Structures are given as C-alpha cells and as structure tokens.
Amino acid sequence: MGYFSRFAVPHPSPAIYASMIAIAVTVFLIIAGITYFKKWIYLWDGWITTVDHKKIGIMYLISALLMLFRGGVDALMMRAQLAVPDNKLLDSQHYNEVFSTHGVIMVLFMAMPYIMGLMNFVVPLQIGARDVAFPRLNAVSFWLFFMGAMLFNLSFVIGGSPDAGWSSYFPLAGNEFSPHVGTNYYMISIQIAGIGTLMTGINFLTTILKMRAPGMTLMRMPMFTWASLTTCIIIIFAFPVLTIALLMGTMDRLFATKFFTITDGGMDMLWANLFWVWGHPEVYILILPAFGLFSEIIPTFSRRNIYGYTSMVASMVLISFYSFLVWTHHFFTMGQTAYVNSIFSITTMIIAIPTGIKIFNWLFTMWRGRIRFTVPMLYCLAFIPLFTIGGVTGVMLAMSAADYQYHNTMFLVAHFHNVIIPGVVFAVLGASTYYWPKMFGFVLNEKIGKLAFWFLVIGFCLAFFPMYITGLDGQARRMYTYSEDTGFGPWNMVATIGAVCMAISFVLIVYMIYYSIRNAKKEAVSDPWDARNLEWATHTPVPEYNFAIIPQVNSREAFWDAKYKGHPLFKGDYEKIHMPNNSGVPFLMSLFFFALGFGLVFSMWYLAICGLIGVFICMAHRSFEQDHGRYISVEEIKETEAKYGGTHK
C-alpha cells in the first residue's frame, strides 16, 4: 500500500469521492458506447489521426466547451460558498483548490483552446489556403494541449489539486508550503499545453505569412487574420518565458534547486516577475483574436465594411508590442520604489489608447450601417459598453498609488472578469454561433440563442458589478469566507444569483445545440449571413481541400466584391490537389508526453524516462519518415464539386 498512498487525495471530501465515481462511470459509458456503436475506427481515422485544420479546430472547440463546464462548476462552488457570511460549505483548503483550478482551467484550458479552435477553423479559409503550413505539427499542438488539460484535470482525484492560485506565487508554491503534488500538476500540465501553444504560434505565423491566396497583400487581409498574426507574434515572444519559469519552478519542486526560495540566494519575487512577463502578454493573446472576431461579425451584420481598417491594424500591431512593456502593474504593491511603479503606470495607461481607437472604429462601423440583431451581433453590441467599463477600471488599477487600495480585492476580480467575459467569452460564443453553419451545415436556433444571451449578460452584470463595490469596501479576493458585520453579505448574494443566471445560460446554450441538431433544416447553406470574406466563399460542409480552385483576391473584401461587384474569384481549371496524409504519431507522442508528465508529478522516474524516450522516438520517426502526402485527382474534385452544386465562379 505504501507505493499507492501517494495517489491518495490529501484533503478528501464526499464531493471528491462522488466525482471519482462519476468520472469512472462516464469513462466506462463512453468506452462502452463507442464499442457498442462500433465507432472506434471512425474515431481513429476521422478524428484522432486527422491533420485537417477544420477537424482540429472542431476538436479544440469541443474540449473548450467541456473545460468551460468544469471551470463553471468550480465557479458555482465558489459563489455558493461566498453567498452568505460565515458559510461552511467549503473549508479554506477546498476553497483554495477550487479557485486555483478555476483560474488555470478558464484561462489556459478554456479560453486558449477556444481561440485556437476558431483560429484553426477560420484562418486558412479566410486567406484562401488549403491547410496550415505544418499540418502535422498542428495535430501535435492540439494533442499536447489536450493531454495537458487531461493531466491537469486528473489532479483532483489523483494526488490532489494545486492550491496556490492560478498565478502560483512562490514561496507559497514551493515545497515547504505546498508539500503535496498539486503544484507539480500545475507546473507540468501547463508546460505541456504551453509547448503546444508555442507550436501553434509558429505554425500560424508561417501560414499567414506564406500561404495567402494570390493577390491578398498584407493590407488586404481580413481583420481576424490580422488579429491572429499579431497574436502569434505575442505567443512566440511571451511563451518561452513561461516555459523557462515553469521549468525553474519544476526544478525547485522536484530537484531542490533554489531559484525561487527565500534562502540560499534564491529570489521568490522572480517568479512573480517572470509569470507576469508572460502573463500580461497572455491577456492580450486572449483579447486580440476576440477583437478580430468582433471585427468580422460587426461589418457583416451592419452591411458595411470595417471603419478605419488601417488604424485597426496599426492599433493591433502597437498592442502586440506594448503588451510587453507593462507587466509590473500586476505587482505594484510588492516592494518597488514609487519611481519604478510610475514608469509602469504610464506604460499601462498608454496601452488603453489603441484599445480605445478600436472601440471607436467599431462604433463608426455600425453608425449608418443597417444593423441586423442576430445572436452574434447581440454579443458584439453588449461587448462594447461592458468591455469599456472593464477598460476604465483597468486604467483605475493602473494608477500605482491607487492600486494599493484595489490590489487583491474583489475590485480586481471584477476588473478582469469584466474584460475577459464581455471581451473573450462573448467573442467566442458569438463567433461560434456565427461560424456554426460553416462548421456543421445548419444555423443554430435564434430564439434559444437570444434567451441564452440575455441570461448571460444580465447574469454577468449581477455577478460582477457588486464585486466592484465590496472590493472598494475591502473584501479581499481568495478569502474563503467573511464575517457578518463586514456588510458584504447582501452584495455577495446578488453575485451568486448572477452566477446562477450564467449557469442557466450555459444550460440553454447546450440545449440550443441539442435542439438545433434535432430540428434545424439541414440544407447546405454556404453563406447564410451574407458575409464579406473568403471563408464563406466555399461550400458547406467545407470539402477537405477547402477550395477547388485557389481564389484570386484583388480587394479587401474579396467575397463581397465577388458577389456584388462581379469580381471573378475562381479563375482557371481544376488541377490535382496535394494534401497531407493523416498520422497517428502526434496522438502517440502526446500519450508519451502524458506519461512523462504523470511520472514527473509523482517523481516516478522510470515512467518519466520511458515517456521521454517515447517522445524522442516519435521525433526521430518523423525525421526519417518518407511521407510526401497524397494527391486528389481532378475526377475526384469534379465529383465532389458536383455533389455540392459546382464551384460558383
């Protein structure tokens, strides 16, 4: 038994035992289901080994929705605990584990893959390409993210969850104060997913720079492609910092190095520093693609081209650079002089300027436009005022002297949820509704969608605006309870009601998907919204080669101009198409990564070494593999195109 005792959860509760059983039952049901319906081969050939950017995108989206559920349950637990003063639902240790997990899951395993998924699906279509630059690497990216997420989610039933916050500051995260394996899970699962993200950054940067359709110059690229390009640049320069910081943290925890210790020449504050050197750019990695998505949806439903294209591009490029100059605003209160703080206060306030420019551009796009109030557009309309409030409170926080009052209070919590939920979450939900017909061939139900939207918006306002008030009154973040005479009770009750509304909205969204699958008309709609960019110029469902003939671009809104100004998009004849082959190696490699990670978490060195060797074997296999892809013949293309009603030229 001694050996297995390491897997025990250090701080168990009935809820955890219940989850264990639930997980076991679900896994069993899934396996039994797949076997019963004989879907293993379909799963392997169609999805697990795929290198098709569209399918990878959809897998990202499904994982992200699952993680949204997991993170949402955590959120509800926290809100339930805080609903009334002196509540005993969760004890302090549980509360710590829940908020740490919630933060990591929502940022790294929900928002990131959601955005990666949309990037995967949309960007190649938008630039008129047939796949990404490195399709195999793309599969590796996805599977690394997936295994990172699985490893992280395993923590609460095997060995215990991390409990030092999503920022996992040392020395709290060191062995002395966090002796159980939870923080190992944090370090290693984020590391694995982070390597995948870095690869995605390189992959999409290359794709966007090298694989655009002829005629699409940089300044003719659609907004979302521009947003993805700038995001990739931030990823490439920010993620290596996280990689190294996590490596140092892992070494401290597993091999007793002294990078972040208080004694022996270590420097605990260096972790906070490195974390935010990555962490601040990371929030822009989340928001820039979201801005890009809004810039796709707003012109479509205003029937106008985007206002101020050049200034939109310029502000994104500026943001991608400025985002590296502000990180210290996350620890104004930790000991720098006022002089240092002032420098970073100013850089932080400057970054609000390009963001403001974008807000005005969206407003001017809608001005005099003919607005259609569809679900995606509603999300955009709600985003603008709510995000602005988040930005304004951000500038309040940026004043370092004032930050001594706000820092680590619920005011801060309200700020970042106020930018992330209306910014990122509204964007991805709006964009999934917008792109849904392109992905699955039918439009989602509007009525339920609108209902879900209103629950989400009202729930959001109820849940987070009270936190501004209690925060200013001094309610600290990450505290598992508060006493009655603080007077925080009523506001917290309101916030909990808001959280419940948001949960209802999630249920409605799931119901909307279910309802639409059953009832929507499954006619192939290639351009349901009368949209403007190339992703709508191909058939629905999108054939695996995307475009039978590579489109010819000669304006900013190629598809719109093809529809209404008669620019020819597809010139010439069919030619055979070169496509990459499927491969199971990326999945296999991610399994080895999982073994490596699990071995490291529990200091099971043989397992870790085997995993590492497996990873290297996969890489060596790739180096010596002779795989030149395959060709789709002209006959096959003709057949497919005829089935979808021919290439409209």
Partner 1 sequence: MKELFPAKQVGGFVFSLILTGVALLVYYFNMSRAVGLTILTLTAFIQAAVQLVVFMHAREIEDSKSVFTTIYYAIIIALVTIFGTLLCMIWGWNY
Residue with tokens 């469902």: 541
Q: Which of 325, 352, 357, 458 binds partner 1 (CB under 8 A)?
A: 325
Rounded to a whole number of angstroms, the minimum distance from the CB of residue 170 to ligand HEM is: 15
H, E, C per residue of 218-284: HHHCCHHHHHHHHHHHHHHHHHHHHHHHHHHHHHHHHHCCCCCCCCCCCCHHHHHHHHHHHHHHHHH
Residues 158-177, interacting with partner 1 (CB under 8 A): none
Residue with tokens 């997913």: 193
Query: How long is the chain?
Result: 649
Out of ligand HEM, partner 1, Cu ion, none, which partner does residue 348 contact, by CB within 5 to 8 A per kind? ligand HEM
Please identify, using beta-carbon distances, which residue of 80 and 270 lies nearer to partner 1: 270
Q: Which of 180, 253, 407, 532 binds ligand HEM (CB under 6 A)?
A: 407
Under the binding rule (CB under 8 A), the answer on residue 243 touching partner 1 is no
* Interaction pattern, residues 267-296, with ligand HEM; x per rule: CB under 6 A: ----------------x--xx---------
Q: Cis ω on the peptide bond leading into residue 171 (within 30° of 0)?
A: yes
Q: What is residue 540's three-state secondary structure?
A: coil
Residues 194-253, interacting with ligand HEM (CB under 6 A): none
**CB neighbour list of residue 544: distance below 8 Å, 6 or more residues apart:** 52, 54, 579, 632
Distance between CA atoms of residues 107 and 177, nearest Å: 25
Under the binding rule (CB under 8 A), the answer on residue 335 touching partner 1 is yes
Residues 505-534, interacting with partner 1 (CB under 8 A): none
Q: Which of 24, 32, 340, 613 binds partner 1 (CB under 8 A)?
A: 340
Which range, of 128-136, 349-357, 597-605, 622-630, touches ligand HEM by CB under 6 A?
A: 349-357
Q: Which of 44, 47, 324, 602 binds partner 1 (CB under 8 A)?
A: 324
Out of partner 1, Cu ion, ligand HEM, none, which partner does residue 343 contact, by CB within 5 to 8 A per kind? partner 1
Distance between CA atoms of residues 206 and 208, nearest Å: 6
Out of ligand HEM, Cu ion, partner 1, none, which partner does residue 406 contact, by CB within 5 to 8 A per kind? ligand HEM
CA angle 226, 232, 234 (to 5 degrees): 110
Q: How many residues bind partner 1 (CB under 8 A)?
A: 18
- Single-letter residue type at 87: N
Under the binding rule (CB under 8 A), the answer on residue 273 touching partner 1 is yes
Distance between CA atoms of residues 428 and 605, nearest Å: 40
Residue 337, Ramachandran bin (φ over 0: left; ψ between -120 and 50: alpha; else beta):
beta
Distance between CA atoms of residues 330 and 135, nearest Å: 37
Rounded to a whole number of angstroms, the minimum distance from the CB of residue 312 to partner 1 is: 21
Distance between CA atoms of residues 177 and 126, nearest Å: 49
Buried b (16+ CB within 10 A) or exposed e, 330-352: bbbeeebeeeebeebbebbeebe
Residues 417-446, interacting with ligand HEM (CB under 6 A): 419-420, 423-424
> Which one-letter DSSP state was computed for residue 575?
-
Residues 286-345, interacting with ligand HEM (CB under 6 A): 286-287, 329-330
Out of ligand HEM, partner 1, Cu ion, none, which partner does residue 398 contact, by CB within 5 to 8 A per kind? ligand HEM
Rounded to a whole number of angstroms, the minimum distance from the CB of residue 326 to Cu ion is: 6
Distance between CA atoms of residues 339 and 608, nearest Å: 47
Q: Contact residues for Cu ion (CB under 5 A)?
A: 280
Structure tokens at 61: 């989206």
Structure tokens at 79: 């809100």
Q: Which of 111, 123, 139, 277 binds partner 1 (CB under 8 A)?
A: 277
Chain center to CA of 637: 35
Under the binding rule (CB under 8 A), the answer on residue 333 touching partner 1 is no
Rounded to a whole number of angstroms, the minimum distance from the CB of residue 323 to partner 1 is: 10
Distance between CA atoms of residues 466 and 473, nearest Å: 11
Please identify, using beta-carbon distances, which residue of 218 and 619 lies nearer to partner 1: 218
Under the binding rule (CB under 6 A), the answer on residue 403 touching ligand HEM is yes
Please identify, using beta-carbon distances, which residue of 180 and 407 lies nearer to ligand HEM: 407
Out of partner 1, Cu ion, ligand HEM, none, which partner does residue 340 contact, by CB within 5 to 8 A per kind? partner 1
Structural element, H or E, at residue 37: none
Under the binding rule (CB under 8 A), the answer on residue 241 touching partner 1 is yes
Rounded to a whole number of angstroms, the minimum distance from the CB of residue 172 to partner 1 is: 18
> Which one-letter DSSP state was computed for residue 295?
H
Which range, of 130-138, 245-253, 321-329, 546-554, touches partner 1 by CB under 8 A?
A: 321-329
Rounded to a whole number of angstroms, the minimum distance from the CB of residue 102 to ligand HEM is: 11
Under the binding rule (CB under 6 A), the answer on residue 72 touching ligand HEM is no
H, E, C per residue of 623-644: HHCCCCCEEECHHHHHHHHHHC
Structure tokens at 587: 């999945």
Residues forming the site for partner 1 (CB under 8 A) = 209, 237, 241, 267, 269-270, 273, 277, 324-325, 327-328, 335-337, 339-340, 343
Residues forming the site for ligand HEM (CB under 6 A) = 167, 283, 286-287, 329-330, 348, 351-352, 355, 391, 394-395, 397-398, 403, 406-407, 412, 415-416, 419-420, 423-424
